[in-house]
Chains A and B, each alone.
Chain A
């Protein structure tokens, strides 16, 4: 497989926000992740962008105007004037008003949106934004630490160029905001693996939530129980993703890598290791589709940073050492100072093989319905036409457009080489 070109979107200020005393969501984990990426020398292997900040206009592509207007205007100084809206938009306990709230939203949303634009322009094959992935936000409601749903906005951008976008969510919480946003459409398939039941947030994600109307069977839910480990997780993740790819044939993938599915998470109850979590990224990457990789949950800061740094390396096909290099935040990785410490807990794995087999069967049965669904247009625009169109449309953002285009040719050639390789293999096969 040709080496995929990776772009990385990071705003140096995005870590300098704080949800308030005692709040488990810490934007600083993004800065911690970035620090590791730098010190592991991964930075120089990627195209690095300081992304632009999303405007209210961008956010209103999904969210309601009055909600965004409220987010823009509310601040710790004037919050007492907004008591009515606080309740209306569910801003308060889980989603507090903090200093710089709107800036924070526009940074992480801008980064995701720009990632989508770069993918559309084929300026990269993989776009990474660890500050994004806030999957709970609803159209006019904040939820579960999420205010603006950057995923939905990025997917809407991807839909300009992609007939079918696949959204995969490995956060421990159900990706309800994204699923709800695309519940009635077949152009986006949402697949979420999450803990379900027993009052676990957000309370949606039953395996019988399938989507509705034209979107029926385009919402896939894999409700899991607490304590799932690497092997068990992979035993369901891999087959489900392969089936989804087979049946849906997406042209682009958005992967939400919420790190609260790791063991020892402050809010989570799964038991994945950092390698196990990264394995999911690897599985998705191997399909070679354009990919937008986002962050998400993750409430044990040091493990979030480890996890996302490791996954950056996975996406770059680079090996990095287990020993964390010296850096300004080294103390946070005490006492082991390694990338892969044992973070498993004593939590019993409550997912029986029978239960998972049942899940797999259900998912398979539902996916089979897709082919019978009359509303699907599997080929909206021939890919060639798309590329032609692309060359004609000069993006105002891009300065050396021709250069970028030239670069695009390289991977295509390599791919052709790959085909040749295949031929050789075939020859070999025939000889035998």
Chain B
């Protein structure tokens, strides 16, 4: 007990040395505020500060600690250019060095109990001392490497002050900033001086000039294109005969032919006429079967076109599938598909663990942007800034491919979808398309087993902004044509009509028909599944 008394009496003496540092502890936040004020006053004398900071970066940690330990206030000036993060670490800095001082001073008193007690007292005052020292060391060492070229953090005080709270953890602040790597392994090898193409390596692949505008007058070319277009219309049969609008568009093949003919318009036109059969397009017609398999694949694998190709549509390349997808996406057929799948999604949502593919599917719909702060995202990944992805990641257990559970779970769903499903998360565009509510309620069943009479694939007849409402007569319902230049032209609707209005009514008729057809299909399937 006496020892305690003596230690208490002796402590004021030793305290003298670390008195300022105790003050530092208490006035820690004050210091920061003055720092900021100074920062704003001092403006930016950037380069000198950077130099100083770079010097510090090269210092051994001990030296650095010592520097800050001796002059707690001297560090203030230094720190003004670095952001709040390093200011924070300087605060810690002084603490830790004062601790060292305590240790050394108490060694002189040779009273270990006293030291321990003092330390304990100290740590009572400031519980996070240990960790902050640790943090400090970390931050110093990490900034030692990270600072290499980045120099210091941004001085922009207005920015920093608003973030002070978030940036309280100094390490985190350091973390999101990245540095440019320097070293011969990172940079490109810039050739000394310049050279000519004589000694350049021979390129392995040839390029091809497809069109050169310099040879002919614009008017001549335009006349040629017009001629080609009318000629094509005259000769076209079936879906090709659909007008594509009054404007003259640039026809890649026609222009290439003209180039091949040495820019001789007559010759090019003659050759074009000779080609009774237009050059076969790589994207030839898709059969109904391919189309259905594609949709099934999409349902099962989401937009993993590689898996769809491997398992469902082996007759097409992945590239063709993707090209097809983007055209298919804007057809009625897609709308039917989307509604159906949305319905399924509702059922599956009752069964966690079943993959929600429709989310993936729908995320491509261009949803109107909602005001949000997209600027905050973990720095390692560009993707994390994607709000759609966050939604998508919400379902906790997302099985990647579970077609089995997909199938198994369906029998249990039968009763859940009897109520009218409310279609949520529709884009405005989609909403207008789904004006007929019964469409959404079609009790379609899974696995896309669809009656052949199911749905003629037809292009939406909406033609706002285009000159001609495209309507086509007698086109086989099993063709979904895909050709570079004429894809747009298909509005495949049974029966002919010349006005948009009529075609719309036709559409609804067709969809009614389809509905009844699909009802029977689903009824059949219901009985099937019930018997399981």
Where the two chains meet, the residues of A that have a C-beta atom closer than 8 Å to any C-beta of B are 5, 12-13, 15-18, 20-24, 28, 31, 37-39, 41-55, 57-58, 61-62, 64, 76, 93-94, 98-100, 110, 114, 117, 120-121, 136, 138-140, 144-145, 152, 155-156, 159-163, 173, 176, 179-185, 187-188, 195-204, 206-209, 212, 219, 223, 225-226, 264, 266-269, 299-302, 323-335, 337, 345-347, 352, 355, 358, 362, 380-381, 389-390, 392-393, 395-397, 407
Contacts and interface: CB of A to CB of B under 8 A. Distances in A.
B151 A269 contact: no
Residue with the highest number of chain B CB atoms closer than 10 Å, among A100, A179, A301, A334:
A334
A379 to B, nearest CB: 12
B204 interface: yes
A185 B190 contact: yes
A300 B205 CA distance: 33
A159 B274 CA distance: 48
Given A43-B252, A200-B375, A331-B460, A50 B180 contact: no
A55 B188 contact: no
Given A49-B207, A219-B180, A328-B327, 17 more contacts: A18-B305, A39-B249, A48-B212, A49-B208, A76-B306, A144-B382, A163-B194, A197-B154, A200-B377, A201-B377, A203-B178, A209-B149, A269-B375, A326-B247, A326-B488, A327-B245, A345-B369
Contact of B188 (A156, A160, A268, A334): A156
A327 B488 contact: yes
B375 A226 contact: yes
Interface stretch (B31-39, B91-99, B464-472): B464-472
Contacts of A347: 371
A226 B218 CA distance: 44
Contact of A362 (B46, B159, B325, B369): B46
Interface stretch (B117-125, B133-141, B385-393): B385-393
Contacts of A335: 428-429, 432, 464
15 contacts: A17-B319, A39-B249, A43-B250, A43-B252, A44-B218, A46-B213, A49-B209, A140-B185, A182-B187, A188-B190, A323-B465, A326-B466, A328-B487, A329-B330, A389-B196
Contacts of B319: 13, 16-17, 100
Interface string B347-385: 000000000000010010010010101111111011111
Contact of A207 (B154, B176, B194, B207): B154
B306 A94 contact: no
B404 interface: no
A225 B305 CA distance: 37
A201 B248 CA distance: 43
A182 B180 CA distance: 11
Given A160-B195, A204-B179, A208-B46, A139 B186 contact: yes
A115 to B, nearest CB: 10
Interface residues of B, number: 113
A223 B204 CA distance: 40
B46 A22 contact: no
B210 A49 contact: yes
Given A209-B149, A223-B154, A23 B177 contact: no
A57 to B, nearest CB: 7
Contacts of B126: none
Contact of B303 (A21, A49, A145): A21
Contact of A152 (B44, B188, B381, B488): B188
B46 A145 contact: no
B302 interface: yes
Contact of B326 (A28, A37, A197, A333): A28
Nearest to A352: B158
A203 B176 contact: yes
A187 B190 contact: yes
A339 to B, nearest CB: 11
Contacts of A138: 181, 186
B225 interface: yes
B202 A396 contact: yes
Interface in B302-350: 302-306, 309, 318-320, 322-323, 325-327, 330
Given A21-B304, A200-B377, A346-B371, A209 B205 contact: no
B191 interface: yes
Interface string B182-204: 10011110110111111011111
A244 B261 CA distance: 46
Given A21-B304, A145-B382, A44 B247 contact: no
B205 A52 contact: yes
A200 B205 contact: no
Interface in B389-442: 389, 392, 428-429, 432
B435 to A, nearest CB: 14
Contacts of A43: 211, 250, 252, 255
B446 interface: no
Contacts of A201: 377, 379, 381-382, 384-385
A75 to B, nearest CB: 9
A430 B319 CA distance: 65
Contacts of A136: 382
A144 B378 CA distance: 12
A318 to B, nearest CB: 11
A24 B205 contact: no
Nearest to B369: A264
A136 B181 CA distance: 13
A99 to B, nearest CB: 4
Contacts of B429: 334-335
B241 interface: no
Contacts of A226: 373-375
B77 interface: no
B382 A94 contact: yes
Contacts of B178: 176, 202-204
B466 A330 contact: yes
Given A94-B381, A201-B385, A358-B44, A160 B375 contact: no
B371 A44 contact: no
A268 B193 contact: no
Contacts of B196: 160-161, 389-390, 392-393
B500 to A, nearest CB: 14
A18 B319 CA distance: 8
Contacts of A225: 159
Given A43-B255, A223-B154, A182 B464 contact: no
A370 B377 CA distance: 35
B86 interface: no
Contacts of B210: 48-50
A159 B194 contact: yes
Nearest to A9: B207
Residue with the highest number of chain A CB atoms closer than 10 Å, among B245, B325, B374:
B374
A395 B197 contact: yes
A21 B207 contact: no
Ranked 7 nearest A-B pairs via Cβ = A328-B488, A337-B465, A326-B245, A52-B205, A331-B330, A16-B319, A203-B178
Contacts of A144: 382
Nearest to B195: A160
